[in-house]
Chain A
């Protein structure tokens, strides 16, 4: 029965990983940008939420309504000022620019918030749980809610990309930016919106993460790794693949922890490496990548 519990918990954690990975998937899918500061944006958002909660006394859940619009605007600014210069040029520039941004964000956070970890308190809600099968499989309300939010977010995003006029422009730009411009698409606007979506989703993930565990200024790169692994397991550019990749990573980690608590990360990384070896395009990935 412990195994079933491990799998259920893993699926729920997977929702969070998918939330982390969504933005990476969108920014890579639409503009072939690998943003190494992705995890730091999540941590930065969690700190902002913490500041908001401490100064207003309001719940972290309410902070979302303030922090997400701020994150979206920050994404717009970043794209216009920094990333617009490195999209479509040699990848080395992207790595330098986004890695530099990662270090800059970490140091600003360290300066402003010190190295002490923080957490976002959601009070009693964090402890409540639902018994599924006796005492064997117990699901926390919060991880369940977080998983549902992740799924709703992915449904909304895939409807947007699959069914709307702008979503079609996203896919066309992803296929071939030069030809997309010839169709009357202003790809600079597409890039700005895509990056705003990426930062908003990762900000939400950062806040949800902070509601469950402590976070500190230098956590970003570790979160980036999880996001990367989820994206690559699921397949680049596929949103449902990203959810699936997040779940596979989450389940691998909880099963690893069930075997030996020290194996949690290890098993996750091993599954990632196995996918990379056996199916480099990921489970839902298209066969050919440009």
Chain B
């Protein structure tokens, strides 16, 4: 059953339009990925779904109901949580306070501080520490844990692997099946296509604000993907 649907979305910042006629579908419990080069509009798409970027036209539906008129904090209560690009942890709060803020207006569910520490054991030793003293990977784990505290139905992950060592990325991606097992659907945005394709059931490739390719990762060829990703030959 379709959980989240984006229909013909146009969005941007003031005069600048970043998204053109973007549509996508996310089923209950599914993981989809959105890949594309820097500036393709991936982050804007997630922000438009979460409500921090204004949309010009189109629609975003959750359970068939439009959520376009809702503020970000209202969308969170409907079950949409975003792990923002660059992690954006609250630097003057401790690790535990960051998690508690994530549950500020939480839906009911099984995620709490204890179950998050179980999913991300690397946070355990730092729980009372100021969050700005964590390493990049620990901050990313904290950012994901913080978003989970609201017990979302849809978790939007923006560039989880950015700037992190491959081994750390692997650890973070290892937590994704745990999250899915608890019934949360995922939208994984990445520039690093390999991780994203391996972790998702369906993928969308974006180019210059438009969806240039979509399909099951197993059914797409490398050539198709790199053409859609870089736009090679697209203007020919």
Interface: B126 (CB within 8 A): no
The residue from B82, B91, B93, B97 contacting A182, defined by CB atoms under 8 A apart: B82
Report chain A residues within 8 Å CB of B73: 181, 183-186
Q: Give Cα A176–Cα B90 distance, bound, in whole angstroms.
A: 7
A183 touches B101 (CB 8 A): yes
The residue from B76, B82, B97 contacting A168, defined by CB atoms under 8 A apart: B97
Q: Give Cα A184–Cα B147 distance, bound, in whole angstroms.
A: 10
A182 and B101 in contact, given A171-B90, A171-B92, A176-B90 (Cβ under 8 angstroms): no
Interface: B153 (CB within 8 A): no
Q: Give Cα A35–Cα B26 distance, bound, in whole angstroms.
A: 46
The residue from B76, B88, B91, B93 contacting A184, defined by CB atoms under 8 A apart: B76
Number of interface residues of B (CB under 8 A): 26
Q: Does more than half of chain A's interface fall in helix, strand or loop, or is it mixed?
A: helix
Report chain A residues within 8 Å CB of B77: 184
Question: How far in angstroms is the closest Cβ of chain A from B75?
Answer: 9
Write out, one digit per residue, whether chain B residues 123-136 have a CB within 8 A of any chain A CB (1) or not (0).
00000000000000
Write out, one digit per residue, whether chain A residues 169-180 have a CB within 8 A of any chain B CB (1) or not (0).
101101110111
Interface: A165 (CB within 8 A): yes
Report chain A residues within 8 Å CB of B51: 181
**How many A residues are at the interface, by size bracket?**
10 to 19
Looking at the complex, which of B102-110, B198-206, B207-215, B224-232 is the stretch in contact with chain A? Answer: B102-110
B71 touches A168 (CB 8 A): no
In chain B, residues 125-182, which have Cβ atoms closer than 8 Å to a Cβ of chain A?
146-147, 150
Q: Give Cα A179–Cα B92 distance, bound, in whole angstroms.
A: 14
In chain A, residues 186-213, which have Cβ atoms closer than 8 Å to a Cβ of chain B?
186
Interface: B72 (CB within 8 A): yes
A172 and B93 in contact, given A184-B77, A186-B73 (Cβ under 8 angstroms): yes
The residue from A165, A174, A175, A186 contacting B71, defined by CB atoms under 8 A apart: A186
Interface: B62 (CB within 8 A): no
A175 touches B90 (CB 8 A): yes
Q: Give Cα A179–Cα B100 distance, bound, in whole angstroms.
A: 14
Write out, one digit per residue, whether chain B residues 83-100 have a CB within 8 A of any chain A CB (1) or not (0).
010001011110001001
Q: Give Cα A182–Cα B91 distance, bound, in whole angstroms.
A: 16
Q: Give Cα A286–Cα B90 distance, bound, in whole angstroms.
A: 14
A185 touches B101 (CB 8 A): yes
Q: Give Cα A169–Cα B73 distance, bound, in whole angstroms.
A: 13
Report chain A residues within 8 Å CB of B106: 184
Question: How far in angstroms is the closest Cβ of chain A from B231?
Answer: 30
Question: How far in angstroms is the closest Cβ of chain A from B124?
Answer: 21
The residue from B52, B81, B82, B92 contacting A175, defined by CB atoms under 8 A apart: B92
A179 touches B84 (CB 8 A): yes
Question: In the complex, which of the residues A168, A175, A180, A184 has the most CB atoms of chain B within 10 Å of its own CB atom?
Answer: A184
A182 touches B90 (CB 8 A): no
B105 touches A168 (CB 8 A): no
Interface: B50 (CB within 8 A): yes
Q: Give Cα A184–Cα B105 distance, bound, in whole angstroms.
A: 6
Question: How far in angstroms is the closest Cβ of chain A from B168?
Answer: 21
A182 touches B104 (CB 8 A): no
Q: Give Cα A165–Cα B81 distance, bound, in whole angstroms.
A: 20
Write out, one digit per residue, whether chain B residues 103-121 have a CB within 8 A of any chain A CB (1) or not (0).
0111000000000000000
B150 touches A181 (CB 8 A): no
B102 touches A183 (CB 8 A): yes
B92 touches A182 (CB 8 A): no
B81 touches A182 (CB 8 A): yes
Smallest CB-CB separation from B106: which chain A residue? A184
Write out, one digit per residue, whether chain B residues 50-75 have a CB within 8 A of any chain A CB (1) or not (0).
11100000000000000000011100
Smallest CB-CB separation from B146: which chain A residue? A183
The residue from A176, A178, A185, A286 contacting B104, defined by CB atoms under 8 A apart: A185
A178 touches B91 (CB 8 A): no
Could you list which residues of chain A lie within 8 angstroms of chain B, going by C-beta atoms?
A: 165, 168-169, 171-172, 174-176, 178-186, 286
Given contacts A172-B90, A182-B72, A286-B92, 11 further A-B contacts (CB under 8 A): A165-B100, A169-B101, A169-B104, A171-B93, A172-B101, A175-B93, A179-B84, A180-B90, A182-B52, A182-B76, A183-B102
14 contacts between A and B (CB under 8 A): A165-B104, A168-B93, A168-B100, A168-B101, A171-B97, A172-B101, A175-B91, A179-B88, A181-B73, A182-B52, A182-B147, A183-B105, A184-B106, A186-B73
